[in-house]
């Protein structure tokens, strides 16, 4: 079997992203004008947030595919000769054991690499940006106009509650100490 990799797929994504940034991306990141400029700028920011996540997702997926291709190649190398001819139940079992061992080892090796750490860090960071953006938009454009409480407001109350509880605990402990001294 001819060796395969996902390099060309990766190149395609890179090229696609470059083209996006040079064309539509520029238009989307253009400063907004007019009475609704604040809102519109925030809305437009969502495109770049999504694009970052999409690009990181493509990178990760392409890298993982390459790792799995490598694992598949190793499995084929190990089992290729043995699996010729009649396929017996023992061979199914052997094949399963080889498959799981090889995939597990190959993935573990990749997961220890700087490449994987950087990839996952980037994907996670862009995912959080995207989720945060969605939350902000939901609060701004739906919850606030509907006069409903937002998570941000609940968090403010939680913070206040936390400080109050802490103060009460400290005061209670001081009262207890004073009582014991008496």
Residues near other proteins (CB under 8 A): 88-90, 92-93, 96, 100, 103-104, 107-108, 111-112, 117-118, 120-121, 124-125, 128-129, 131-132, 135, 151, 154-155, 158-159, 161-162, 165-166, 169
Report the distance separating Cα 1 and Cα 61, nearest Å: 23
Contact between residue 110 and residue 67 where contact means Cβ atoms under 8 Å apart = yes
Report the distance separating Cα 75 and Cα 96, nearest Å: 10
Tell me the backbone φ, ψ of residue 81, rounded to 5 degrees.
-75, -40
E runs forming strands in 58-153? none
Find the shortest distance in angstroms from Cβ 117 to other proteins.
4
Of 32 and 128, nearer to other proteins (C-beta) is 128
Find the shortest distance in angstroms from Cβ 73 to other proteins.
16
Find the shortest distance in angstroms from Cβ 180 to other proteins.
12
Of 47 and 103, nearer to other proteins (C-beta) is 103
Torsion of CA 8, 10, 11, 14, to 10 degrees: 160
Sign of CA pseudo-dihedral 15, 18, 22, 28? positive
Of 37 and 151, nearer to other proteins (C-beta) is 151
Of 81 and 88, nearer to other proteins (C-beta) is 88
Q: Which residues contact 143 (CB under 8 A, 6 or more apart)?
A: 149, 150
Find the shortest distance in angstroms from Cβ 32 to other proteins.
25
Find the shortest distance in angstroms from Cβ 54 to other proteins.
18
Of 37 and 159, nearer to other proteins (C-beta) is 159
């Amino acid at each position: 079997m001819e060796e395969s990799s996902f390099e060309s797929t990766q190149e395609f994504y890179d090229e696609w992203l470059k083209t996006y940034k040079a064309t539509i991306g520029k238009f989307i990141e253009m400063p907004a004008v007019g009475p609704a400029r604040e809102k519109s700028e925030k809305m437009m920011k969502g495109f770049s947030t999504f694009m970052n996540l999409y690009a990181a997702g493509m990178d990760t997926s392409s890298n993982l595919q390459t790792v799995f291709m490598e694992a598949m190649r190793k499995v084929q190398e190990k089992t290729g000769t043995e699996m010729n001819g009649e396929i017996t139940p023992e061979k199914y079992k052997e094949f399963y054991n080889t498959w799981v061992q090889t995939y597990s080892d190959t993935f573990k090796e990749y997961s220890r690499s700087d490449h994987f750490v950087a990839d996952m860090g980037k994907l996670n960071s862009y995912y959080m940006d995207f989720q945060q953006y969605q939350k902000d938009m939901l609060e701004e454009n739906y919850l606030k106009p509907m006069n409903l409480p937002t998570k941000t407001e609940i968090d403010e109350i939680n913070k206040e509650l936390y400080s109050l509880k802490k103060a009460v605990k400290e005061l209670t402990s001081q009262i207890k100490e004073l009582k014991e001294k008496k």
